[in-house]
Structures are given as C-alpha cells and as structure tokens.
Structure 1
C-alpha cells in the first residue's frame, strides 16, 4: 500500500529531529579547547626594576637607573631621564611574548642577526639577577623579529612592533622638559624682548591682569594658551651640554626672557637666544648650563607682544552668575536683582526684578540678553595714553553698569559716545577702549530699556 505524501514530511522531520538530538547530546558535551597562552620572554615585575640598559651593534649604550620614583641616565652621559618613556619600555618588555620557536638548537646565530645582536635589552630587578633579551633581523615577511636569551640556545620570534620599542637613542629616553612647570601653579608672568616688556599677575579668583607697563585687563584664555606653550615646551635636541661661550647661541644677551613666579614662591626662567636657521631657536632654563634647541612656536607666540594677551571684549561676564546690577543712563539710576527658585520638578529658574526705583518684574530673557551682550562687544583699539575724558564722551557717559557676580567683587564699565564713535572704561583698566560702534550702541539701548 502506498503511503500518503504527508508521511514523507514526517520522515524528514524525524531525521532532522535526530540530528538535533545528536548535536545537543553529543556535540554540546564536547569541551572546547582553550587557546594556549603565549610564553612570556622574561619574568618581570616592572615596579621592582632598578636598572635598564639598551645597547646593540653600532649603538651607544643607554643606561638608566631608577631613583625613587624618577629615572636618570647614567650612560652615555649623566642626565635626567624621561620617566614616562622608561616606564613605556619596561611595560613593553614585561608584556613581550614568544610568537614561535624557530629552533631549539640553532646553527649560526649570525643568520638571524643575533651575532652580534642588533639590540640588547638588560634589566635588573631588586634582589634578582640581570635578565637579557637579544633582538636580531626581521623575518622574511617583516611581521616578526628573531630574538633569544643568552642563557638559552633557542631562537624564537616576537612581534616586530614590540621589538621596535627597544630601538632607542640616548635622546629618546632623555627628559626633554626644560622648565617642569604646571600652568596652574603660575602666579606671575614677566616677559622681556625686542618689542618691549610686560608683566602680568593672577588674582585669587584666577583672573589675569597686566601690572606693567600699565594696569589693564588680560584675556584669560589668551594667557592660558601662552602658559600652555610654556608647560609643554620640549627641547628637540641638545646644542651643548656645557658650553664654554654662550655668544654663538645668542644667549650671552638673550633676545627674550620669560620669568614665571610660582605659587610656592619659586621662580622659573626661560632664556631664548638666536635662531638656528631651521625654524628653531637656542634656549636654556635659568640656572642650567645646557643649551637646547626648541621649536619656534613659543617664540612666535611671544613675538605677538602684549596686545595679543589683552582682554579684547568689553567685560567677561557669566550672565547666569550675575546676582544683581545697577544702571546709570539718561540721568536715571536703576537697580536690578535676581531671585532663584525651583519648580515642582526641582528645576531651578531665575526671575529678574527692577528693585529701584520700583519693584517691577522683568522679562528674564531681555535681561539675560543684555548681560550676554556685554561679553560680545569687541575692543577695536586700546588707547593706553588717553586724553581727557571729554575727548571720548566719558565725562558724561551714555551708560554705566555696575555688576555683582557670585563670589566675585563688584565690576563696572561705562560707555561714552563722541562723533559717532563709542569708547569705554572698565574696572581694573587704565586704558580707554574704542569699541565696535554697532554693538556698543545696541548695548546702550538694551540696558537703557530695562
């Protein structure tokens, strides 16, 4: 009797079910073989390493010794070492793994570039013997390097990128930081140069201002940028370790001198001499004999002069930190205050009120816009030796605003108009400022209408 077609379907399903059961009960029982971990080349705890040396055929030996938490070079000359570079080399050595053993009993080591080795790394750990690793030629595919240890005959390979870590020149491991200064620690800055000198000081609120040649406001971010260049300054090479004569480097009479007064009372000095002819300059740190070669970036910044560091906005105001302000305009005096409260969702909202001469609630957006505009008015020209106030319409200012910000002392600015031009004076500034006329007129209008 011929079976119906649906029995064929049942048969197929039965076979598939059997296969599924096999996979579940048999294959799932098989234990996956864990991948074999690679063998480390050396047994190393970098925290215990006290000495590190790098040498090789045709190379100067570079030897470093750890002194507390810092490193110093002892060969080929005594000098401070770059601790970060030294630790990077040790990390690479600590994690160095054998990719493949090429031969347990190799013939001529010279065939692998190991006699003599191209690079030899030696480390000494506290309380332990010295460990060495020799590095030779690259493999034909250039993805690996032949290597061995002197106390064992076998030759093995390691990743080429790992081996490259140990190919260092003495200067690569040298401390190239000239001044070792953090910008946040600087409290005073003095600069002398061919275009004159100037001095700045930072107050307890972190605001920078010029103290010479006149008292005038400085741009916070401009000064911070210059100090950032000083903080990250690194020498590109050593021109002379112990120069007998500074004149060839232009350091007998430095072209520029930067003095930094620090929070701890110490002073750091950078002297910049002549150009090397390849967009670099000679320089040295005060108190050190070493003459270094530095990039021109900081020289270019200093060459812009004091005007590049000045506050080029009328007044830097954080509108959301303003707690109140007074306005004098058109013969009227008004005062304004801000109150803060939280809504039912806990979100803080601000409300502004004119407190003098009345107690009228104001449109908060209009007040915030006026305050925001204060920091948007650009200074077009600084008049460091101004004439009388009447020359600029400042004998009878069109606007005077006194601002009270949270955790800051009162500050003010006043704006005058003369012949269609707008001028200003501000707190802590001996100069008269010529302003962008369009924005200054808008500023006067906005505050007068509040």
Structure 2
C-alpha cells in the first residue's frame, strides 16, 4: 500500500469515527445541553380549563369558553351562536393550550426585538385560564421556518416553540367556523329518505325516495334501493346515482369557507332565485339554496332558514348540470312477485291472464316458506313457468330514450294488477328493425326496447 493510499484510508476512518460520534449525540438527547431540552410552559388538565383567549396578529381577539361535566368537555365561542363554530376544532385548541412545551433560548433577554418580541413588534398572544383563576400568557413573535416560533411567558425569558404548535395556537377566529352546512354529518347513501331538486340546469324538477323495505319483497336482486317519483316514476340505477348525485352532494355539504353572515343582499350571491334542494334523512328535514358560481371555482350555498352564506366547491354541485336519465334504471317495471295478483297480456284482441295466489309461510301448512301459485287462462302453471313469466314482464330494459316521446299504434299491452288494486302497464308498438317502442302507465312511447324483450314475454305465456 502506498503512502498516499494509507493517508486516504486513515482520513476515511477519521471521518467515520467523527460521524459515529455525531450520530450518537443525535441519538442521545439526554447528553445534549440543557438549553436544547424542551420545558413545560403550560400544564393544565383539559377538564380544569375555563377559557382560552387568543389575539392573533392582524386579527380581532376571541375567547373560547370551556365547560366540563361527567360526559366530558365542551367548547363554545364566547358571544357567538354555538352552532356557528366547530366544537371539535375548538377542542383541539384547548388540548394544545393545556400542554405547551418549548426549548429555552435565552434567559433575561435584554433585546427582545431580536426575536420579534418587543412591545413594538407585531405578535400573537395566548392566555390560558383554569377554573381556579390561574392564568398563563404567552406572546409569540418571530417565526423562523426551519426552527419554529419564538415566544415568551414573561417578556424576559425566550423560548422556541415548534411550528405546528405555534400554528395551532394562533389561528384566527374564522378558522373555527363550522363549515358543515347542515351542522352535522349525514351519510346520504345510507340515511337518505327523500330528495327533491326544484330545477336542474335544464329545468327538470327531480324527486326520489328510498324504497320502502316492504316494496322490495322478493325482488331485492333486481329492485333498486331508490326510486324516482319525478319527472317520471321509475327505479334508480343505484350505482350511477350514488357515484353522481349523492357523491357530489355529500362533498358539497361541507363548505370551503364563509362568504357572509346575515347578508343584506341575497342577489349578490345569486340566492334571490336559488335552486332548492330538499332532503330528509334520519333526524333531518332541511333544504339547501344554491346560488351563483364564483370566479375561483366556488358556488354560494345557504341552508334554507339559515343566516350564513357558504362558499362550496362548484365541482361538487356539477350534478345540477347532469341528465337525470343517467341515474335511472333501464328496467321499465319492477315489482315483487308477492305483490302481484294478476298479469294480463293483450295482443290483437286476445287477452291472456295469469292469476297469482300468494300464501305466506305462517299460513302455509305444507311448507315453512312463502309459496306462489298461478293459473294461466284457468290452467295451473308450474313453478318454473310462473317464474319465467314473472321475470319476462319485470325485466324489460330500454336501450334508448326517445326525445321527444311519440304516439304510435299499440300492438301489445302488459298489465300488472297488484294486491292493493293498483295497476301498472307496459304498452308496445312496432318501431324500427328489431325494436319495439314502449310506453309506461299510459304515457307516450318514450323508450326503444329490443325486440327480444317483447318476444320473451310472448314465449312465457305457457303453463309448463
């Protein structure tokens, strides 16, 4: 080994040793200087707090009052309507204010301006008071991004507070506003009962409801969870509805910011003639008023009867521009077999009628399950034949929408008579090649149906 190589090896070894020593110091903070250890500036139990008062630089001071009982602690913004502010966000402030630790920098400082803590400097002030009247006041000064924020509890001793804690303690009052428009969380896909929109962008009035549990009956495999009641009565496509309207509205129930409280001019926000979205859910009956869009991708929203104009993401309300047909099921008529008392198929002056008898399990001595029997034109139908006919008439899907709807010569009519006496009809007229036009419940022909769907109904008119 040459002399030069030996020198390089020795130098590398020295660097390795020094690096190890440095790493050891980092891994053993107990061996660091006392000035590098954090000390406690506040030490309160959250339940013993009375209030936290914050004076953020450049903003008005505010006070959060804290109350404790057997159920825990609650926070309110002093002098404000309780529902306007988020208890969870204020709790986070109270929790942070209870246990503030910082690193000592200089004791008996003679030049507080060095740290942005002189009386002439813009500062943040935090006062934490417990129920016994004991208070601790911290003044926060200069922030150094890589280090944190300098603070003092007495004007003489300087400490360095980590950036995250400093930010938590000095947010303005507006940060604590409740941005939940309905003042709570509701899972639309799980809790929604009814929803109506007085007008979509194309002028369509829309209404839907959750299907009653009794409605589903034995058709849970084909019936949707939601049904539209306007502009037409039909099943929803649950996947499309949830991914479109519900997803957007769910996000849109939480605002980005507050535009105004108690506005004197609703026209400024496009809320003098708003779109009205009414919804009911568990413990909820409320309406949203949707106004104009902002230049930065927002949209103004109010709760009907509320006092606050919120700014939401316009993208969350893009469902108002959608075609409601994208959310409907393509199946024209669904119904539980247990709800049907008869099925009639009329064609060319000939009518075939299947009369169905439903025997509940608790009334059926021959079986412990529900049983359905039927007769087609007076002749007994097998269970398989009944099931085939039922599926044929309740599984008709349209392949296209006719716009506008048409009048046409009816060739075939299917009538379902339910056990409660109501009737639903599907009428068919010959359309183009391999297609029939369909009309629901006496309306005009608005749907294009593959010819095979109609053929299946005719083929199902048999007893075996």
Task: Identify whether the pair has TM-score above 0.5, normalized to the shorter chain.
Answer: yes
Equivalent pair of 1:56/1:117 in contact (CA under 8 Å): no
- From 421, 430, 439, give the equivalent of 1:418: 430
Equivalent pair of 1:117/1:134 in contact (CA under 8 Å): no
Seen in structure 2, the aligned counterparts of structure 1 residues 53 and 79 have a Cα distance that, compared at 3 Å, is: farther
Seen in structure 2, the aligned counterparts of structure 1 residues 300 and 217 have a Cα distance that, compared at 3 Å, is: same
Equivalent pair of 1:384/1:432 in contact (CA under 8 Å): no
Equivalent pair of 1:185/1:262 in contact (CA under 8 Å): yes
Q: Residues 18-417 of structure 1 correspond to what in structure 2 (within 5 A)?
A: 40-65=40-65, 69=74, 71-72=76-77, 74=79, 80-94=84-98, 96-98=100-102, 100-115=103-118, 116=121, 118-138=123-143, 142=146, 144-151=147-154, 153-180=156-183, 182=186, 183=188, 184=191, 186-192=193-199, 195-202=202-209, 205=212, 207-211=226-230, 214-219=231-236, 221=238, 224=242, 225-231=244-250, 232-252=252-272, 254=273, 256-262=274-280, 267-304=285-322, 306-314=324-332, 377=397, 379-381=399-401, 387=407, 391=409, 393=411, 396-397=412-413, 414=426, 416=428
Equivalent pair of 2:208/2:229 in contact (CA under 8 Å): yes
Give the superposition deviation at 1:200. Answer: 1.8
Equivalent pair of 1:273/1:282 in contact (CA under 8 Å): yes
Query: How many residues of Structure 1 are paired with residues of Structure 2 in the alignment?
Result: 388
Q: Could you say which residue in structure 2 is the equivalent of 1:10?
A: none
Residues of 1 paired with 2:40 and 2:417: CA distance?
69
Deviations 1:8-44 (A, max 9, x none): xxxxxxxxxxxxxxxxxxxxxxxxx998997554223
Deviations 1:332-356 (A, max 9, x none): 778999xxxxxxxxxxxx9x99987
Equivalent pair of 1:235/1:295 in contact (CA under 8 Å): yes
Residues of 1 paired with 2:395 and 2:158: CA distance?
69
Equivalent pair of 1:312/1:378 in contact (CA under 8 Å): yes
Residues of 2 paired with 1:230 and 1:70: CA distance?
29
Deviations 1:130-150 (A, max 9, x none): 33344344457x1x3244452
Q: Which has the higher helix share?
A: 2
Aligned-pair Cα RMSD in Å: 5.3
Q: Which runs of 5+ in 1 are unaligned?
A: 1-32, 338-349
Residues of 1 paired with 2:403 and 2:313: CA distance?
34
- In the TM superposition, structure 1's runs of 4+ consecutive aligned residues that sit over 6 Å from their partners are 33-38, 321-337, 352-363, 370-376, 399-404, 409-413, 445-450
Give the superposition deviation at 1:430. Answer: 5.5
> Given the two structures, how large is their TM-score scaled by the length of structure 1?
0.62
